[in-house]
Amino acid sequence: MVKRRIPYFSLAQICRSGQCFRMYEKSQGCFYVIAGDRRLEMEQEKDVCTFYCGEAQFHGFWEKYFDLECNYGEYIGKINPRDTYLVKAADAGQGIRILRQDLWEMTVSFLISQQNNIARIRRCVENICQAYGEERQDASGENYYGFPSPGSLAVLDEDALMACNLGYRSRYVVRAARAVVSGALDLEQVKKMPYKKARGELLKLFGVGEKVADCICLFALHHLDAFPVDTHIHQALEKHYKRGFPNRRYRGIRGVVQQYMFYYETIESLQ
């Protein structure tokens, strides 16, 4: 068990931020996340978080996964104080971190995300994990499924994942798996590429458009200049930035700012 006091960190906000589809709130302040083939239970009370794993696993994986070594207060401090919309958005989502997630898992997850809502994306991802992932057990005896490998999906018929409720996205995922297995998409090389080059490689995949490529770049490759534009962000830009978003001011942290905007727009729509 690892206990830490962490400023600018909220498990609840991260869980609802639309960047991770295998993180769940079990009860008030209690969460678990499955990342690849790992599962972690967590609790948070104010800014004190308890991670139910050993120190070695925490420092070896989860500390980097949650981007805990970065000072998000510095990012928020760069926001123009005269931009009242962005100040409110950052205040509402100040506990969000940009997770460092697996490239393959994010590629599949955001292929599935197209024309889909978060609850349904979660179900689709869980369906393919249960159907094609490896069953595992965590230290507490809890059973779960790891994320399926490219090889386990590449051998499927293109429509096979329709049984997991992916619909037309089934062929996107199967073709992406085949691209990885054949070497047409080298994930290890993509990880080493700068943002623009990585984005270009991802755009070569069948079914990947600009928004999906930017989501993968931001949430898997940690390219913080990626700025995914979905319906929520488009509406915010139209309403609050008629003369254009100040990209130059936020160069290098545009993805962090995007998450504050996305979270603010989605929680505002629920009120």
d(CA 12, CA 30): 9
pTM of the model: 0.95
The two structure tokens encoding residue 126: 């869980």
Low-confidence ranges of the chain (pLDDT < 50): 271
Strand stretches in 30-165, DSSP E: 30-35, 38-45, 48-51, 135-137, 143-145
Helix axes 103-112, 118-132, angle to 10 degrees: 130
Pair type for strands 48-51 and 30-35: unpaired
CA distances from 95 to 13, 44, 142, 164, 201 (A): 6, 12, 28, 33, 31
The owner of tokens 């409720």 is 165
d(CA 120, CA 192): 32
d(CA 66, CA 44): 14
Point out the catalytic residue in the list 26, 211, 239, 242: 211
d(CA 177, CA 160): 13
Q: What is the pLDDT of residue 268?
A: 63
CB count, 10 Å around CB of 94? 18
Catalytic-residue membership of 211: yes
Three-state DSSP class for residue 19: coil
Q: What is the pLDDT of residues 187-235, one digit of tens each?
A: 999 999 999 999 999 999 999 999 999 999 999 999 999 999 999 999 9
Long-range contacts of 30-35 (CB under 8 A, 24+ apart): 34/129, 34/144, 34/145, 34/146, 34/147, 35/61, 35/65, 35/101, 35/102, 35/105
Q: What is the pLDDT of residues 248-266, one digit of tens each?
A: 999 999 999 999 999 999 9
Q: Which residues of 15-49 are buried (b: 16+ CB within 10 A; e: fewer)?
A: bbbbbbbbbeeeeeeebbbbbbebbbbbbbeeeeb
Q: What is the pLDDT of residue 19?
A: 95
Q: What is the pLDDT of residue 192?
A: 97
Helix or strand run (H / E) with residue 25: strand 23-27
Helix axes 195-202, 210-219, angle to 10 degrees: 130
Q: What is the pLDDT of residue 115?
A: 83
